[in-house]
Amino acid sequence: MLELGEALVKQGVEVHVITGQLKGAHKTETVRGIKVHRIPAQVVKIARLYPPPLVVCPDFLKYLRAIDEKEKFDLFHLHGRWFPDFTLVRKHCEETNKPLVLTVHNARPNGISPAYTLFGSAYELAIGKAVLKSADELIAVSKWTRDDVAKYKIPKKRFTVIYNAINANEFSTKHDLNVKKKFGMKPSDPLLVWVGRVIEQKGLKYLLQSLPAVLKTFPTAKLLLIGTGTSVKKLQKQAKKLGISNAIVFYGAENNRKKLNKLLNGCDLFVFPSVWEPFGLVIIEAMASGLPVVAARTGGIPEIVNSKNGWLIPPRNSKALAVAIAAALKRKDLLHKIGLNGRKIVEKKFNWRKAAQETIGVYQKALAKGHKKKSTLKELLKIGRELKTPRDAITAIKRLKKMWQIK
């Protein structure tokens, strides 16, 4: 939202962000040209069920109405459907007859884990589907995400696919030998890297299962895991059981982009075995750093990775993963070329200027159509009570056509 917002501002859009006011944050401020409004909120953590902190704003609608009355917004853009209070923006849009655009960052919660599927599907039934269907325009972060969410009986033509992006100029492709030195490795020793939240969805257990086979061919290889999450201890136990603890570096989180880029610059191959991934932003960060990629053929990943910038393997398949990693490491002459190809793809296809232009197109489309204000039983009864003559019936039809945006 920060990167997209900044790119929109550069193209002449006035951007405001309404979010929760956490401890130490200013009530209002301008960040990179974006006016930020923060409203009272609390953070609820449900580690195993919902890894990201859940921000709760009980009076969201009251604050939203007040801010809109002052700022006079033209439309609203909702990012995601998984924060219940914030989804009330759809109610405000119906009240004010203003368009609602929704970016679908997540597909249906199926296939991650039994708990995610159960509770995620329950949430979708109660809130998620209604939010999706109420939006005037839908943006999906990948074709796969669009196709998956469309299974909720939402026509595909209602979606516009706009890929996530990065600023490639913030990432260098210059190789850094100091990284391997830091981990007690020689320049010729292979260093694999993975970045993300250390949770079940990322398929890390399959990556660890593949390492013994990789180490038979490349005994001095190491795997650098950058990130934190609920599965760290479980993976450490797995590594010990497999006898590969010395070949894994549990680095922890690295939120500084320059430091992350430096770490990536010291590695040879980016490995991403997710079992469920609507897009995979860290993949294009690795590509921008000049790294070739080995990734699972799942979700939106095949829309990013191809034979020009890496290798795709079946998900949940440690043997195929081991074969692909070993095959890639054997072709050192090819790794650099593939890495540079990936960088070029990012610059052309996954940049914020392009994403912002496409988003403005969606805004213009939404504004041209106006908000499809949903009729309520109360409104229909009111129209019915006014039917006394044939002329009233004609008037009622006109009102209904206008209400439902029927030409």
pLDDT tens for 376-405 read 445 556 666 666 677 777 776 766 655 554
The tokens describing 172, both together, are 């260098």
The tokens describing 86, both together, are 């914030």
Residue 140 pLDDT grade (very low, low, confident, very high; cuts 50, 70, 90): very high
Alpha carbon of 112 to those of 127, 171, 237, 279: distances in Å?
Answer: 20, 31, 22, 14
Residue 371 pLDDT grade (very low, low, confident, very high; cuts 50, 70, 90): low
Torsion-angle region of 174 (φ positive above 0: left; ψ -120 to 50: alpha; else: beta): beta
The range of the structural domain enclosing residue 257 comes to 168-349
Going by C-alpha positions, the residue among 139, 90, 153 that lies closest to residue 372 is 90
The pLDDT tens digits for 66-113 are 999 999 999 999 999 988 999 999 999 999 999 999 999 999 998 777
Q: Indicate whether 99 and 211 sit together in one domain.
A: no
Q: Indicate whether 357 and 345 sit together in one domain.
A: no
| 180-204: burial string, b at 16+ Cβ within 10 Å, e else | beeeebeeeebbbbbbbebbbbbbb
- SS3 state at 20: strand
Q: Indicate whether 123 and 244 sit together in one domain.
A: no
Q: How many domains does the chain have?
A: 3
The tokens describing 406, both together, are 């029927």
Q: Indicate whether 397 and 362 sit together in one domain.
A: no
Q: Are 99 and 371 in contact (CB under 8 A)?
A: yes
Separation between Cα atoms, residue 115 and residue 194, nearest integer Å: 25
Q: Indicate whether 119 and 195 sit together in one domain.
A: no
Q: Are 405 and 369 in contact (CB under 8 A)?
A: yes
Q: Indicate whether 151 and 177 sit together in one domain.
A: no
Q: Indicate whether 241 and 265 sit together in one domain.
A: yes
Q: Indicate whether 242 and 257 sit together in one domain.
A: yes
Q: Which helix (H) or strand (E) holds 353?
A: helix 352-369
Which CATH number characterizes residue 22's domain? 3.40.50.2000
What average pLDDT does the chain have? Answer: 91
pLDDT at position 270 is 98
Q: Which helix (H) or strand (E) holds 296?
A: strand 293-296
Q: Indicate whether 265 and 136 sit together in one domain.
A: no
Global pTM exceeds 0.85: yes
